[in-house]
Every structure is written in structure tokens, then in C-alpha cells.
Amino acid sequence: MSGAEAAPPRGFASVRGALRGGLREALGAPALVLGAGYVGFGALAGDAGISPLLALVSTLLIFALPAQIAMVEMWQLGTALPALVLAVMMTSTRFLPMAATLLPQMRHPRWSGRHYTFAAHCIAMTGWAIAMRRGPEMAAEHRLPYFCAFTMGLWVACLAGTTAGFYLSGLFSELLTVGLVFLNPVYFILILLRETRSRVGVTALLCGAVLGPPVHLMIPEWSLIVGGTLAGLIAFGILEAGARRGG
């Protein structure tokens, strides 16, 4: 996002404008799709016998649908709490590289460590992808408030979806519940396809699409971490080999 300090064409006039803009852009298709996915999660939680408070707290604190689904499944199996917490943590490790790439681009003297800590907790796939694309279009001072407002809009939609799904769970068939949950990964793929502009990103996505299914069949518990790591390494190797041949 460097080099975007001076009068970006789609920037904001003030921090307040960035906050309004982020919230406005969230409360459209992103909020509708993610909210619908969390209706599915709420229904799963209700069917599993999880309390509405725990379901809402998980959305508030975890804010990652795959990790929350893993939580529900392990809850049903009677998994010990330490193992459940560890599984949720491992499922959410994908946010670490996202934080490492996004947060440095939000640096500005106006914001302190507590602001970046809050922003780190807000990181999820949709907000990260949109912020990576929109960031260069705005001044550095406005990137963090835009991102936080965008994510808070999604958070509210997901909390509302969790609540609605929990109390309507008895009306949903199993197929409908799974279909609602499956909206999120489909939407994430579409976002990544739209937002990825570099050869590195496209190559990594293609490698992940090829490796993901067989890795999941072999080691379903570790498929996300292992498949993602292998796909990234292979994509890096392919691009490095191409660069050397070109050089």
C-alpha cells in the first residue's frame, strides 16, 4: 500500500469518512452472504445442544466459521476442553500470515498498539481481501478505521445470523443448514479470485485447488495447514524457476 499517500481517487476526506465508508461497504453483499452462513452455524449449534450464549460468544471471540464448525463437531463428540481449544486455535492459524501482510500497511503515527491489537482480532478472510485491494486507494491514516468499520459491520451481521439460526434451527433441514454454511467458502473463493491480481496469488490459488482435495482425503485433521503450506511452497518454487529461466 506504499505510495498511496497523496489524494487517492477513491479515498476518504477524513477518518470519520473512512469509518462511514467501511461500514457502508460491509452492509451489502458481504454482510448478507456471511450473515446467511452464520445462520447455518447457529442452526448447527442449536442442533448440537450448545447454548445460545456460547454460540454468540464463539462468533464474537473466534469470528471464523471453519473453527466454529470444528468447535461444534468436537463439542458433540464430548472432546475435552483443552483439546477443543487447541483445535480451534490450529484451525485459525491461517490468520497469522494475513495479519503479517495487512497490519504493516496500516501503520500511521495516529494509531497506537491497542488499535492494531483490535484490528488484528478483526482479521478474517473477507475483510482482509477487501482491505488489501482498497487500501492503496486511501491515505495511510484512513486504512485502519476503514478496515475496522468494515469488519464491525460484518461482525454485527454474523452475530444476528447466529442468533436467527439458533432459534430457527428446528425449522431447517440438514441439507439447508449445510447449504447455508457452504455459502461462505464459495464466497471466499469468489473474493480471492476477484482480488488476486498478481502471478503469485493466482499460482498459489491454483496449487491450493489442486492439492486441497487429495490432502484432505489423506489427513483431514491437518489438511488446511498442510495443504496450504504445500501449495504456497510449490507456487513459490514454480515462480522462482520461471524467474530463473527468464533471467
pLDDT in tens, 46-81: 888 889 999 999 999 888 888 888 888 888 878 788
Burial class (CB in 10 A: 0-12, 13-18, 19+), 218: exposed
100 & 212 share domain: no
53 & 138 share domain: yes
Q: Is residue 1 part of a domain?
A: no
What residue type is 236 in one-letter code?
F
Q: Helix, strand, coil % (nearest 5) of the chain?
A: 80, 0, 20
Q: What is the mean pLDDT of residues 85-105?
A: 85
Residue 156 — pLDDT band, cuts 50, 70, 90?
very high
Q: What is the mean pLDDT of residues 219-223?
A: 74
Q: Is residue 191 part of a domain?
A: no
Tell which of 182, 214, 234 closes a domain.
182
Q: Confirm if 207 and 231 have CB atoms less than 8 A apart.
A: yes
* pLDDT at position 5: 38
Lowest-confidence region among 81-95, 122-136, 199-213 = 199-213
128 & 97 share domain: yes
Contacts of 102 (CB under 8 A, 6+ apart): 123, 128, 131, 132, 147
What residue type is 150 in one-letter code?
F
Q: Measured in whole angstroms, how far is the alpha carbon of residue 174 from the centre of its chain?
A: 24
116 & 162 share domain: yes
Tell which of 134, 158, 182 closes a domain.
182
204 & 177 share domain: no
Q: Quote the longest CA-to-CA distance of the chain.
A: 62
Q: Is residue 8 part of a domain?
A: no
| Radius of gyration (C-alpha) of the chain in whole angstroms | 19
Q: Is residue 133 part of a domain?
A: yes
* pLDDT at position 89: 84
Report the half-sphere exposure of 61 (CA within 13 A, side-chain side). 10
- State yes or no: pLDDT of 2 exceeds 60: no
What is the Cα–Cα distance from 106 to 110, expressed in whole angstroms? 11
pLDDT digits (tens, 9 = 90+) for 170-184: 777 777 777 776 666
Q: Is residue 139 part of a domain?
A: yes
205 & 130 share domain: no
- Domain encompassing residue 238: 196-247
What is the Cα–Cα distance from 73 to 86, expressed in whole angstroms? 14
Three-state DSSP state, 228: helix
130 & 204 share domain: no
Contacts of 155 (CB under 8 A, 6+ apart): 59, 60, 63, 122
What is the Cα–Cα distance from 99 to 122, expressed in whole angstroms? 10
28 & 94 share domain: yes
Query: By C-alpha distance, which of 7, 11, 45 is closest to 161?
Result: 45
- State yes or no: pLDDT of 200 exceeds 60: yes
pTM equals 0.74
Lowest-confidence region among 110-124, 171-185, 187-201 = 187-201
47 & 153 share domain: yes
Tell which of 148, 182, 216 closes a domain.
182
Q: Is residue 189 part of a domain?
A: no
What is the Cα–Cα distance from 226 to 40, expressed in whole angstroms? 27
What is the Cα–Cα distance from 77 to 54, expressed in whole angstroms? 17
pLDDT digits (tens, 9 = 90+) for 125-155: 888 888 888 888 889 899 999 999 999 999 9
The three grid cell numbers given for residue 67, joined into one nine-digit string: 473453527
* pLDDT at position 7: 39
119 & 207 share domain: no
Q: Is residue 66 part of a domain?
A: yes
Residue 196 — pLDDT band, cuts 50, 70, 90?
low
* pLDDT at position 153: 94
123 & 223 share domain: no
Report the residue count for the chain. Answer: 247
Which sign does the torsion angle of CA 225, 228, 233, 234 carry?
positive
213 & 174 share domain: no
What is the Cα–Cα distance from 236 to 201, expressed in whole angstroms? 10
Considering its fold, how many domains does the chain have in total? Answer: 2
Q: Is residue 218 part of a domain?
A: yes
